Amino acid sequence: MSELVIDVVSDVVCPWCFIGKRRLEAALRELKQERPDVVPRIRWLPFFLNPDTPEAGEPYRPFLEKKFGGPEKLAQIWAQIAEAGRSAGIEFAFERIERRANTLKAHRLIHRAQTQGSADALVERLFSAQFVEGQDVGDAAVLARLAAACGEEEGQTLAFLRGEEGAAAVRAGFEDAQRMGITGVPFFILAGRFGVGGAQPPEPMLAALRRCLVPT
């Protein structure tokens, strides 16, 4: 068996990152049919889509209307994302989201999960909580419940989030992404050799995965 490491630079409040995750998974399902000997391992790397977000967050829609140029423009953007999401099996519910979340705590949870094994299930749960259920993924109590749904002990997670463990590693990871010139997410690094920017459809992502498996 051959391991294929895929680094995914993303943020849990980025809708295109959610779509990119689902599209990557679709490409990997196709790859498995072609190359059953290849075992993918996904590593989730941190990015702050809005690094100026207050620790407690702030109202969601007013921020986006200001960022994108008003309610009509925002509605167009949401419609575009919703259409892309449906093709990936995601029903975005932007109207449910009330808070613009600071994602440092969420990234710390992802970092902790990866040190213990895999963060894939947690990342999926965080994306769904944010974009389908409209939960505040910057709130420690919400995060503890989401982690509990993935097998973590809720009380221990709350205690972890009250501290600073993992925060330095997350910030360092974001700085690493900036040094690599990554300014937007999702961004995929395949086998440490190929960079793929954006939520690429499954077909071009599969082509990129094939390329990185060609011996150098």
Residue 124 sits in a domain whose CATH number is: 3.40.30.10
pLDDT value for 1: 83
Contact 57, 100 (CB under 8 A): yes
- Residue range(s) defining the domain that contains residue 182: 2-212
pLDDT digits (tens, 9 = 90+) for 127-183: 999 999 999 999 999 999 999 999 999 999 999 999 999 999 999 999 999 999 999
The number of domains in the chain is 1
Tell me the whole-structure pTM to 2 decimals: 0.97
Name the token pair of 36: 């059953």
pLDDT digits (tens, 9 = 90+) for 15-52: 999 999 999 999 999 999 999 999 999 999 999 999 99
pLDDT value for 194: 94
